[in-house]
Chain A
Amino acid sequence: NAGVTQTPKFRVLKTGQSMTLLCAQDMNHEYMYWYRQDPGMGLRLIHYSVGEGTTAKGEVPDGYNVSRLKKQNFLLGLESAAPSQTSVYFCASSYLPDTQYFGPGTRLTVL
């Protein structure tokens, strides 16, 4: 039982490049979330999904897009990366809306 996994673990991009972060969970959870973690800011919700085929905006959605084509996967896309998107990105999933299980994180640097 792997729980929540994230790919890749590290990535360096140049400004304007695009990339997709993959989150996968094997717990059959309905709810999935993408957060970013910045020093002194705690975790901020980017987008979330309440089930396969659904997505919704969180607190800081600008510059990001998401897709949930399969229940177990939640993809986060950056179409044109900016230095302000340098952060650690965490994916989470939950069976109920409150108790969330987190992945190990992806450290992204945008130069």
Chain B
Amino acid sequence: GNSVTQMEGPVTLSEEAFLTINCTYTATGYPSLFWYVQYPGEGLQLLLKATKADDKGSNKGFEATYRKETTSFHLEKGSVQVSDSAVYFCALSEGGSNYKLTFGKGTLLTVNP
């Protein structure tokens, strides 16, 4: 079956530091890949997505590249802010008739001023 593995953290960084959160996946076929973000006390929000190999998703300074050869979709940001403190979830969808998102366990990021 499908699975998503991401670094569990927690990750603590200082403001303006570089962020990487690793995500690898196992899936049949050619899944779409996602990063969702959950701010404290809120639901999940889509941060970015990529639907095919070598695609780069980007939003709010965050980027992730769909690497089929390494089955990875690592999240990066060059300079984090205190407001980026949240839980980040990597997820995949096989698409087609499979309607489900498979989530990783989430990574808590805390950014200190």
A and B: bona fide binding partners: yes
**Which residues of A are interface residues toward B (Cβ below 8 A)?**
4, 31, 33, 40-45, 48, 50, 58-59, 90, 92, 97-105
**Chain B residues within 8 Å of A33, by CB:** 99
CB closest chain-B residue, reference A102 = B43
Cβ contacts under 8 Å, A44 to chain B? 103
Contact B43 A90 (CB under 8 A): yes
Can you offer 18 A-B residue contacts whose CB atoms are under 8 A?
A: A31-B99, A42-B89, A42-B104, A42-B105, A42-B106, A43-B103, A44-B103, A48-B100, A50-B99, A92-B44, A97-B93, A98-B34, A98-B49, A98-B95, A99-B34, A100-B101, A104-B41, A105-B42
In the assembled complex, how far is the CB of residue B91 from the closest CB belonging to chain A, in whole angstroms?
8
Does B28 belong to the interface (CB within 8 Å)? no
Asked if residues B44 and A102 are in contact (CB atoms below 8 Å), the reply is yes
Is B82 among interface residues, defined by CB-CB distance under 8 A? no
* B49 partner residues in chain A, CB cutoff 8 A: 98-99
Cβ–Cβ contact A98 & B32, under 8 A: yes
Q: Is the CB of B43 within 8 A of A41?
A: no
